[in-house]
Chains A and B, each alone.
Chain A
């Protein structure tokens, strides 16, 4: 088992009630691992009740990244949301906690 944070970094933000999380492979060779294991369904499951809508996944092979779009994921979004993190700024941290059923040798 390995935590996603060991092979990827990420940034997240909001568009209204939609949160997006870009997950970036730390090394190009980790990109296929993310492709195989960090599916839209897996991310939807990982976020549970925080994400009430669907999750879309878009590959960005140019930067060895995947962009995840989480619908209805910010309690309504914007200033009307009651979430402490109403802009999804911390969701990049939340996704990196995901455990993957893979073993690899990382440098660090």
Chain B
């Protein structure tokens, strides 16, 4: 049995969670951490364009510095997709931290996921990269592409561990791979042991959003969850693919069948066929059983062969957006906000501001559930939210200049929710597409500090 902790669900998650987990959880074998959202890849790509040694999560080496002593003492292997678009440089930075601390560790970088520069050549070979959701042709975004990475699977990570890595940094891989790599390495699961791989995937899926499986965003009985000292999840995986989801003793949060069920359904489409590079898992097969306090056993996962293509995470420049937020108070808060919206839209029309999209919401009424939530009878305050999108920055500037005077020359009892004119924010939109598996070659480099 191996124990894998997952103290980070996204870049920006609780910085103290990894060390708290090392302190509070006995006998951990692996710590896995997710850093990469789709949008992160584009931000990191821009950083790398300015400085070729950047393009990874820059706070990761500092985190390694903080954790290193405990990792070495407790013999815990660390895995993170903190490599972003530049896993090699991330590895170098981690090596430097380890060498400075006189720690004898091996660091691995898994890469090969980046395909941005290769796309023109691949298209000449007949790979389309058309939008897999909308069917739109790649031609329409070809010139605006800013990042493109194939989602790698778990086997390159397992290989890094086979080579003796103590710390593994990767670029874009499926989030669950950071947990599955150690299982494949430890138990020697073969690429065609689909039921075991499906178990690993389900475990990884439950772990990959950190505290979301241990009571975070839990909708059933959320009042009973201690969010203060949130316990992050641990999976205890057996060689045969049966596992327990739990959290360190003495921490907050909650693990029961209901918290695990909620995370099992999180961000899935057809549960009968959850496609990944390693296996197609059937999420209608796992059986859940509470086997102790904050312990849920998962058994019976089944899987079949993975698809022949890999998903690609691509982003393209898609203009700018901005939002105006004005609070209106009682009496007649909602009527005032609606009147202000009318006037602002009228002025925008008159000034012929070139917006491609405009949306109005009344926070306190329909900001979240537009068309579903009932109109409140007499709310004390309503926030008018007008969000706009345009191809150019100039139109966004005009929107601000045209809309803002409403604060004085409009309905009364108004105070801005945020100060100043709305800032144009560049929009990088997601372009989901696929690439044939054999067009992507994962790479692995392992290096040791050789101290001692």
Q: How far is the CB of A36 from chain B (nearest CB, A)?
A: 19
B288 at the binding interface (Cβ < 8 Å) = yes
- In angstroms, Cα B274 to Cα A15, docked, is 13
- In angstroms, Cα B333 to Cα A100, docked, is 32
Q: Are A49 and B370 in contact (CB under 8 A)?
A: yes
- In angstroms, Cα B219 to Cα A93, docked, is 8
The proximity string for B residues 352-381 relative to A, scoring 1 for CB distances below 8 Å and 0 otherwise, is 000001110101000111111100000000
Residue B284 contacts which of A46, A47, A62 (CB distance < 8 angstroms)?
A62
A11 and B263 contact, Cβ closer than 8 Å, known pairs A60-B271, A79-B427, A93-B219 = yes
A78 and B430 contact, Cβ closer than 8 Å, known pairs A15-B269, A62-B285 = yes
Q: Are A82 and B388 in contact (CB under 8 A)?
A: yes
Residues of B within 8 A of A79 (CB): 39, 321, 427-430
Q: How far is the CB of A61 from chain B (nearest CB, A)?
A: 7
Q: How far is the CB of B44 from chain A (nearest CB, A)?
A: 15
A10 at the binding interface (Cβ < 8 Å) = yes
Residues of B within 8 A of A104 (CB): none
Residues of B within 8 A of A94 (CB): 368-369, 372-373
| Residue among B134, B370, B387, B388 with max Cβ neighbours from chain A (10 Å) | B370
Looking across the interface, which residue of chain A has its beta carbon closest to that of B357?
A82
Q: Are A10 and B219 in contact (CB under 8 A)?
A: yes
Q: Are A20 and B219 in contact (CB under 8 A)?
A: no
Residues from 266 to 299 in B contacting A, C-beta threshold 8 Å = 266-272, 283-288
A63 at the binding interface (Cβ < 8 Å) = yes
State how many residues of chain A have any CB contact under 8 Å with chain B: 46
Q: Are A14 and B267 in contact (CB under 8 A)?
A: yes
Q: Are A20 and B268 in contact (CB under 8 A)?
A: yes
Residue B318 contacts which of A47, A49, A80, A97 (CB distance < 8 angstroms)?
A80
| Residue among B261, B272, B357, B429 with max Cβ neighbours from chain A (10 Å) | B261
Q: Are B219 and A11 in contact (CB under 8 A)?
A: yes
- In angstroms, Cα B266 to Cα A92, docked, is 11
Residues of B within 8 A of A (CB): 38-39, 133-134, 217, 219-220, 257-258, 261-272, 283-288, 300, 318, 321, 323, 357-359, 361, 363, 367-373, 385, 387-389, 427-430, 432
Sample (13) of A-B pairs whose CB atoms are under 8 Å apart: A9-B219, A9-B258, A10-B262, A13-B267, A24-B262, A47-B371, A49-B370, A58-B272, A62-B286, A63-B264, A83-B361, A93-B219, A97-B369
| Known contacts A9-B262, A69-B269; 7 further A-B pairs (Cβ under 8 A) | A14-B267, A17-B134, A50-B370, A78-B430, A79-B429, A84-B361, A91-B369
Residues of A within 8 A of B (CB): 9-11, 13-18, 20, 22, 24, 26, 46-50, 56, 58-63, 65, 67, 69, 75-80, 82-85, 89-94, 96-97
